[in-house]
Structure 1
Amino acid sequence: MKGVKFISILGVLAMTAVLFYGFTQGNFFEDGGKLMQNPWGIVSLVDLYTGFILFAVWIFYRETGILSKIFWVLILMILGFFTASLYMLLAAYQSKGDLMRFVFGAKKDQVLSKYRP
């Protein structure tokens, strides 16, 4: 879990820095318009939102409450992989080193009961 925590912390720090830079130095709508005029900009956005959706599937599976699921997925779509990094960091700390708890969250025992003899 140390590696997951370290990478997640790096992700939170990097995303905080670039989000701050983007919001203070750029124009979201003007720059976004330029991005949509570039074929590789479109490819990048499709790639990004594919990643968001895949990560959202994990969140939806792992979380138990509907409000928690909606909250995390909504901020993932707004703040991107800043949210994913933060979510992974929190999941790593909450799991207390238990890989199964990290992956499955509160559903760990439910998942394991399906595969126990």
Structure 2
Amino acid sequence: MTRAIIALGATVFLLAACGDNKADEGRVEGPVVSESEAPRNPAVDTAPGGDAALTPGANSFTEAQARSAIEKQGYAVVGPMSQDAQGIWSTTATRNGAESKVSVDYKGAVSASAN
């Protein structure tokens, strides 16, 4: 009988010690997941193109992807493309009847300069 009372007392003590701990309120177990709807990859520039400064860097875009990025900015008659040593794709293209030199950096930023 004494053992049962001691065991019951120990159980009550342990449950009280491990019980509702207010210090852990709001604590999330596992990976944190953002609720933001915005893109989280800073390597991809999704802002509309224009006169953005190009960033040199290793470019993983294929020629077709760089051409597509230029066309999405409203350019047509996209000429032959070349990639320089800094990873910038360049070509000539026409938008609103004006021909420009258009470039795409590794982030996908499209920039134009008058020819």
- Place the TM-score, normalised by the shorter chain, in its bin: under 0.3
Question: Under a length normalisation based on structure 1, what TM-score does the superposition of the two structures give?
Answer: 0.24
| Larger fraction in helix | 1
Question: Under a length normalisation based on structure 2, what TM-score does the superposition of the two structures give?
Answer: 0.25
| Larger fraction in strand | 2
> Which entry has the higher C-alpha Rg, 1 or 2?
2
